[in-house]
Amino acid sequence: MKFFASCAKGLEYLLADELLALGCARATATTAGVNVEGELVDAQRAVLWSRLASRVLWPLADYDCPDEEALYRGAREVAWQDHLDATMTLAVDAHVSGSAITHARYAAQRIKDAVVDALREASGARPDVDVESPDLRLNLVVRKGRALLSVDLGGGPLHRRGWRRSQGDAPLKENLAAAVLLRGGWPKLYAEGGALLDPMCGSGTLVIEGALMAADVAPGLLRHGDVLPSRWRGFDADAWRALLDDAAARERAGRAVLRPVFDGSDLDPQAIHAARENATAAGLRDAIRWEVRPVEQLAEHFLSRHSRFRGNGGVEVPVADGNIGSAAQSVEAGTSRGLVACNPPYDARLAADPALYRTLGDALKRAVPDWCASLLCGDRELAFATGLRARKNYQLFNGALECTLIVCDPIRPAMREDAAPRDLSEGARMVANRLRKTLKASKSWRERGDVDCFRAYDADIPEYAAAIDVYTDAGSRERWLHVQEYAAPAEIPEAVTRRRFGELLAGAAEALDVPRERIAVKTRAKGKGGSKYGHFAHRGEFMSVREGAARLRVNLFDYLDTGLFLDHRPLRLSIAEEARGGRFLNLFCYTGAATVQAAVGGAAQTTSVDLSATYLEWLADNLRENAIGGTRHRIAQADAMAWLRGDRGEYDLVFCDPPTFSNSARADDFDVQRSHVELLRLAVARLAPDGVLYFSNNFRRFRLDADALAAFASVEDISAETIPPDFARNPRIHRTWRLRRRDG
């Protein structure tokens, strides 16, 4: 016999595997469910044991349904006295599609009328309707001109396990929670001695479902108890009771040996209260540990709780100070592995704070780096915001919302400093070898200067023409790459250019041990007017990096530049030292990295000027990232030249790094070669008597008009001392001059 098990979209293949494991003869995935072949007892077993199914439907009638009259007539022909009598109650759930029948409630009413009319004609009495707890629940689907009428063997949604007493906003359905756990490999991890953790547990669905799964408790056991799920006359009550007896025996055995390796925490005390109530109702009061705790404190929590853990052979080994990863390898039962299952917050509009997802990812990498994680995120962008490297990605639906489930195993892959190269092409191996030599040669100065972000490659091999910059996330300490392709000579075939660039990316990923999803690529594409960069991403993905004592936000994917010019690192760090106690002015401030360094270095006040609202918002975020605020730090959205003409302030330190040219509609056209004398005259006029102005630009053909500047400033070319070691091969990446006001 064929029957149907429905499920949330995205769970079909997982459900098919589950039903086959439960003994069904065949199970074929289809949209939002599985077509199953088996006996009635197999369907009833699925009602009791399926953790993934939404409903189990046993078909009664399948007929043509071109209109409403045909819908009624087909249902009227069913021998309803074989399925229920007039003393029983009835409910009909309907789902319709197509143009012939458009109202599900009306369709349900017509089916109810057909059943009532048939029984009244046969016995003179009619059944009553009970939409909450009927003796017989029917399910109607009208699609493509056909009606399928079935018995709902479970009597309603199977995700209702029977233990939920309290819930927060939009709780996760239990069958979706089961899918998160199964995709994360929870049954196998538990069998191997693993633990389960949800650091944003809400009302506890994932942890409770995981504990019941570990205890071998049938999902339908608490829901139905000794009550038949359906009083349909075709229901095999004897077979059901046998299934219940077997499930009860398995439950007793499973609960008797259940290990207390379950942790749930949440920032909201009310959510934890609800979780405790639900766990008690599920018979798990003493099996799960609940705590009110923000996710940021996860690593500290593990360190304080597990200052000693059991190593190989059961010997207690003390945990070294700060060795949080080792401490987290035990959740009281000596476990070395476990699963983090979590459904971070998002709403019906998929609105969520990517920073919260990043915080979650960072916390997991610090606390349980060797564990597996199964995270149900609002969408792909939010999943990416965690900063975790997903081994598997699944698209599934939480109600009507399409979500992304990522599985990471382990959460933080081990660095493979000395790993053998992958099977690379000869060109990719050349790139990888070159990068390894560069990293080795630069290691000492990078460690000495505590440099996290640097240029690792700059067309070192001419055939592989690109720049590769390394950015290290300040929170997770993961490496990310920013790769910019240089324009190839016109005589090089496009196919060769593409092949070489692919080899360069493969070599970089190998040598720097960075997965492809953490590599931002800026490729050139032929366009109107010649060679230019192609389309950028629109991910809104920011991360913070360290530079000296400052934290700076960068975006590797959405713009041509990342928000941080790495070649100006020495000059910015010099500004941090020189700005202490002084008044700092940043002209053409871009994202304000120099302003942040001045403020972190102790500047008495800062003023930043730029015409771009986007850059100034970025600057404001950078200041907030470093807890810098107040009226001492002024931001002005203006054309720098026009602003200087109207300003009467006095500054001890000025940084001016203008673009090569600008033709904004909101300001006069700017050309650094043509305009630099006037710009510097205006800026030097704002210097305090002992003030210093640093002027820099990256226009390769720029020529400073020293004669014109001599009238009002002393000028010193300091370019060589501002070029960092990682840009030594490209000493003209920028030029810098130090200017002082000439007396009189």
Q: Strand ranges (DSSP E) for 412-561?
A: 454-458, 466-472, 479-485, 519-522, 524-527, 530-533, 543-547, 550-554
State residue 419's pLDDT score.
41
- Round the average pLDDT of the chain to a whole number and report it: 88
Average pLDDT on 83-98 reads 94
CB 11 within 8 A of CB 52: yes
State how far the Cα of 218 lies from the Cα of 63, in Å rounded to an integer: 35
Three-state DSSP class for 63?
strand
Percent of the chain with pLDDT over 70: 90
State residue 353's pLDDT score.
74
Burial of 12 (0-12, 13-18, 19+ CB in 10 A): buried
Beta pairing class for 583-587 and 735-741: unpaired
State residue 654's pLDDT score.
98
pLDDT band at 537 (very low <50, low <70, confident <90, very high): low
State how far the Cα of 580 lies from the Cα of 36, in Å rounded to an integer: 74
pLDDT band at 290 (very low <50, low <70, confident <90, very high): very high
CB 4 within 8 A of CB 36: yes
State residue 345's pLDDT score.
87
Burial of 515 (0-12, 13-18, 19+ CB in 10 A): middle
Q: Give whole-number Cα distances, 159 to 31, 406, 605, in Å.
A: 18, 22, 60
pLDDT band at 170 (very low <50, low <70, confident <90, very high): low
pLDDT band at 638 (very low <50, low <70, confident <90, very high): very high
CB 404 within 8 A of CB 382: yes
pLDDT digits (tens, 9 = 90+) for 207-254: 999 999 999 999 999 988 788 999 999 999 999 999 999 999 999 999
Residue 511: enclosing H or E segment and its boundaries? helix 494-512
CB 456 within 8 A of CB 435: yes
One-character DSSP codes across 75-108:
HHTS-GGGT--TTSEEEEEEEE-SSS---HHHHH
State how far the Cα of 409 lies from the Cα of 447, in Å rounded to an integer: 30
Query: How far out from the chain centre does Cα 75 lie?
Result: 48
Three-state DSSP class for 443?
helix
State how far the Cα of 488 lies from the Cα of 525, in Å rounded to an integer: 11
Reference 715, options 689, 684, 737, 690; nearest CA is: 737
State residue 275's pLDDT score.
96
State residue 543's pLDDT score.
92
State how far the Cα of 72 lies from the Cα of 76, in Å rounded to an integer: 6
CB-based burial, 249-265: b 16+ in 10 Å, e otherwise: ebbeebbeebbebbbbb
State residue 306's pLDDT score.
46
State how far the Cα of 224 lies from the Cα of 237, in Å rounded to an integer: 13
Comparing 34-43, 57-66, 328-337, 450-459, the range with the smallest average pLDDT is 328-337
pLDDT band at 475 (very low <50, low <70, confident <90, very high): confident
Average pLDDT on 651-677 reads 89
Rounded to 5 degrees, φ, ψ at 661 are: -155, 160
Residue type for position 539: R
State how far the Cα of 667 lies from the Cα of 236, in Å rounded to an integer: 82
Q: Which residue has the higher pLDDT, 549 or 424?
A: 549
CB 459 within 8 A of CB 467: yes
> Could you give the domains of the chain?
2-152 (3.30.2130.30), 174-215+258-408 (3.40.50.150), 426-533 (3.30.750.80), 555-741 (3.40.50.150)
Residue type for position 257: V
Quick one: tokens of 592? 């304000």
